[in-house]
């Protein structure tokens, strides 16, 4: 039976979250790439090879040949490529993040906590040739609030591992900050968007707690607010 959007997300969520805990690759990025590349778990490549991400080559000597779309100098072409064949979805997810942590060109994805930055970088790093790939990834993240998956992991991070964020940022890190401010007695909409309201409340928190009043949640602010 084919996966629906919801059944795919429900099935895939544990893979993405558990992977982020060990690999440091954003769960939202992993989920968005699997969502798009596998057609929500229903692509021929995923069905035949448990390959959720369109990773080419061989896995433990196993591969399948599939017709795919590539862009060469901006020109769309249909060509056959060898794609890795995995025993299960788990190996596919693990191999996907292992590639990001192994190859130097993907260094900017490691412990990135901003999904927009991650989606921009993965295209810039050469993962896909489609010119609209960045926006294509961000669409399901925003529509289905996949950044909430990042929050579930980021709330477990030690303050020293949390990235500095300021006005204009969004995603799981912002939602974590907003949630912590609310827990400290401030009224604030927890929407994952670091706008003027969050900036105002953060500055009030910083003033009250003897921190530099700059509206930037850096190491000292994270350390204080996560106590």
- Look-up: residue for tokens 């010119």? 131
Report the alpha-carbon distance of residue 132 to residue 50 in Å, rounded: 25
Residue 220 has pLDDT above 80, yes or no: yes
Cβ–Cβ under 8 Å, residues 167 and 196: yes
pLDDT in tens, 155-208: 999 999 999 999 999 999 999 999 999 999 999 999 999 999 999 999 999 999
Instruction: Give the C-alpha distances (Å, rounded to integers) separating 227 from 183, 186, 220, 222, 224.
Output: 11, 16, 11, 9, 6
pLDDT value at 111 more than 70: yes
Q: What does residue 145 show for φ and ψ, rounded to 5 degrees?
A: 50, 50
**pLDDT tens column, 13-54:** 999 999 999 999 999 999 999 999 999 999 999 999 999 998
The single residue listed with the structure tokens 């009250």 is 208
Say what the pLDDT of residue 46 is. Answer: 96
143 exposure class (CB count in 10 Å sphere: 0-12, 13-18, 19+) = exposed
Q: What is the pTM of this model?
A: 0.88
Greatest mean pLDDT among 77-86, 122-131, 217-226: 217-226
- 7 pLDDT tier (thresholds 50, 70, 90): very high
H helices present in 79-195, as ranges: 89-102, 115-124, 133-143, 147-154, 172-183
SS3 for 75?
strand
| pLDDT score recorded for residue 68 | 80
Q: What is the helix (H) or strand (E) element at residue 171, kind and residue range?
A: none
> Residue 72: its pLDDT value, please?
78
Tokens for 143? 């529509």
Q: Give the number of other CB atoms < 10 A from CB of residue 173.
A: 26
Q: Where are the alpha helices (DSSP H) in 44-88?
A: 44-49
Q: What is the overall mean pLDDT for the chain?
A: 95
């Amino acid at each position: 039976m084919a996966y629906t959007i919801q059944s795919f997300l429900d099935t895939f969520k544990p893979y993405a979250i558990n992977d982020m805990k060990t690999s440091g690759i954003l769960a939202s990025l992993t989920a968005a790439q699997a969502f798009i590349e596998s057609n929500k778990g229903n692509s021929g490549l995923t069905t035949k090879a448990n390959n959720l991400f369109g990773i080419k080559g061989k896995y433990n000597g196993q591969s399948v040949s599939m017709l795919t779309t590539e862009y060469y100098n901006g020109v769309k072409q249909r060509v056959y490529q060898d794609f890795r064949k995995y025993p299960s979805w788990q190996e596919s997810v693990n191999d996907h993040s292992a590639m990001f942590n192994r190859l130097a060109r993907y260094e900017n994805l490691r412990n990135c906590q901003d999904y927009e930055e991650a989606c921009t970088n993965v295209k810039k790093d050469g993962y896909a040739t489609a010119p609209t790939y960045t926006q294509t990834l961000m669409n399901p993240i925003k529509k289905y609030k996949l950044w909430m998956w990042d929050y579930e992991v980021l709330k477990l991070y030690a303050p020293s591992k949390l990235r500095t964020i300021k006005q204009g940022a969004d995603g799981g890190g912002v939602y974590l900050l907003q949630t912590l401010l609310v827990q400290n007695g401030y009224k604030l909409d927890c929407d994952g968007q670091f706008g003027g309201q969050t900036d105002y409340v953060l500055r009030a928190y910083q003033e009250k707690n003897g921190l530099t009043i700059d509206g930037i949640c850096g190491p000292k602010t994270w350390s204080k607010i996560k106590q």
